Structure 1
């Protein structure tokens, strides 16, 4: 059973029989259906069924010439809104199945963000038509969380916010230069990291770490597309899973200068979320390439 079914409101599923009933419903009464040619006898097929606004289950497999569908795998999905990044994205196929991950080289966070690709069929069609390089405009990221904690915001005045934005911009410029091999930029980044470590070590003696660190995103666990995050809540709404009637929060977060939506069950959140407060949790990152 998929670990993140709970994130979209299927937390009470306790048996494989219940799961198979839901997957059969996805196949029989789908919201969206896409397929793409693989060879003379088989097409790659994807069924999607929405169980709430922007959230649902996708079912992928092979369809033969007799239109008989053979299920390969399924996954819960949550479609984000807006544009998260205009950075370069590279797509790689997983070794074990017709599933793809994207690698987004976003300078704002300082690491390559790896996400599960949601619009696989659209990507494969673009690849078949262009044959060579695929042109895209941006990427929209989203996340599934099984739970999390609400934290109060860090108090900052306008001058501190302006200074922080300036520092982020300067660091992005240095990282861009360092990637081209600029030795001065590499040395500057190294010295900045040493200074930051020294300042944080001194402050931790008398302060809590979450009053020092405003937001963060970093890899979590052994899966490449899992992250531990803490971000400021920009927008908040409740959505009901139409099948289970469970409520989930949909939050738009600002994390290290990036904005993306996450989906988390109401009963899995500790604290009272509100715009301006912070959310801390672990998430499975998904994304769509905007062609």
Structure 2
């Protein structure tokens, strides 16, 4: 996760000793502080420090017997603004020294499985095991340290209308398939086979980026790392108050769901604009609103 510090405006400091001073500053003067009495002898701590309205760093650790903080991980973060309505999620503990938690869910519209790094771990740990926890929504963020702005696929109004009809047809079938409708399951399988065959034929004569408008593909060995291609629907620039580095925050539509991508201005090839596409490698994290 530390390799994505550049995405929140710490490109110059991520590989220097100055980062230790930043961590100590967060411990001494956090913007927000969360504590959970997890277990009888463990006190989990999350310290958040904001360096702009939306960007910051989380220091996550545990208090020892002397009430000194043992730091597990340093997490760059952005506060998510785009919500997704999800009925159910699975929270998975990554059994490592950093005490990380990941969230798995299936996107309702596309049926795609998505895994992301959980930002608000203390909220999750505070849920009583004997109580039912409901998920109101999730907010996804994608941190990137390499990306490119590329041209969109040329489509007219007829193409757009047909695409919307196909997406709605597929979403309706997915809903029926979840309820156990055998005919819907068979139609989805046939559609997947036909799409794969058409894709195979087109790749012989066309470039991949002219065929696929967007994709969201697992990348590498990390559960929450993805290769992303999507359409930029909005964007803004945030400035890190400490380093003065500028960060692009882009609302990207990818496979019929939207997430926000954060990338250091110096790590992005090209200038974002509405309608263009973003292509890059991202680490996906998110906030789950439990109730």
TM-score by length of 2: 0.92
Residue 197 of structure 1 is matched in structure 2 by 196
- CA shift at 1:78, angstroms? 1.5
Check if 1:44 corresponds to 2:27. Answer: no
Larger deviation, residues 212-221 vs 77-86: 77-86
- 2:90 is equivalent to residue 90 of structure 1: yes
Partner of 2:216: 217
Match of 2:140 in 1: 141
- Contact 2:149–2:277, Cα closer than 8 Å, also in 1: yes
* Change in CA separation of 1:42 and 1:194 when aligned onto 2, cut-off 3 Å: closer
Structure 1 counterpart of 2:26: 26
**Other structure's SS at 2:83 match:** coil
Q: Deviations over 1:149-188 (max 9, x none)?
A: 1111112222222221221222223233334554433322
Please give the alpha-carbon distance, in whole angstroms, between the structure 1 residues aligned to 2:123 and 2:82.
18
Per-residue deviation, residues 6-63 of structure 1 (Å, max 9, x unmatched): 1112112264522211111111111100101124444111101011221111111112
How do residues 54-203 of structure 1 correspond to structure 2 at under 5 angstroms?
A: 54-64=54-64, 66-96=66-96, 97-125=98-126, 127-128=127-128, 131-203=130-202
Aligned residues: 289
| Alpha-carbon distance change, 38 to 86 in structure 1, aligned in 2, over 3 angstroms | closer
Note closer, same or farther for the CA distance 1:101–1:14 as it changes in structure 2 (3 Å cut). closer
Local SS of the residue matching 1:4: helix
* More off after superposition, 214-223 vs 95-104: 95-104
Contact 1:146 1:264 in 2 (8 A): yes
Q: In the aligned structure 1, how far is the partner of 2:110 from the partner of 2:214?
A: 10
3-state SS of the aligned residue for 1:148? strand
Secondary structure at the counterpart of residue 135 of structure 2: coil
Distance in 2 between the 1:64 and 1:13 partners? 28
Task: State how far apart, in whole Å, the 1-side matches of 2:9 and 2:16 are.
Answer: 17
- Residue pair 2:62, 2:71 contacting (<8 A) in 1 also: yes
Instruction: Please report how far the alpha carbon of residue 226 of structure 1 lies from its aligned counterpart in structure 2 after TM superposition.
Output: 0.7
TM-score under structure 1 length normalisation: 0.92
Q: Deviations over 1:234-281 (max 9, x none)?
A: 111111111211111000111111111110011111112101110000
Q: Secondary structure at the match of 2:138?
A: strand
Give distance in 1, aligned partners of 2:87 and 2:153. Answer: 29
Any gaps of 5 or more consecutive residues in structure 1? none
Measure, in 1, the Cα distance between the counterparts of 2:214 and 2:14: 35
User: 62-71 or 17-26, which moves further after superposition?
Assistant: 62-71
TM-fit CA distance, 1:99: 2.4
Over 3 Å counting, the alpha-carbon distance change for 1:14 and 1:56 in structure 2 is closer
Q: Structure 2: any 5+ residue segments left out of the alignment?
A: none
Partners of 1:11 and 1:23 lie apart in 2 by 15
Contact 1:85 1:106 in 2 (8 A): no
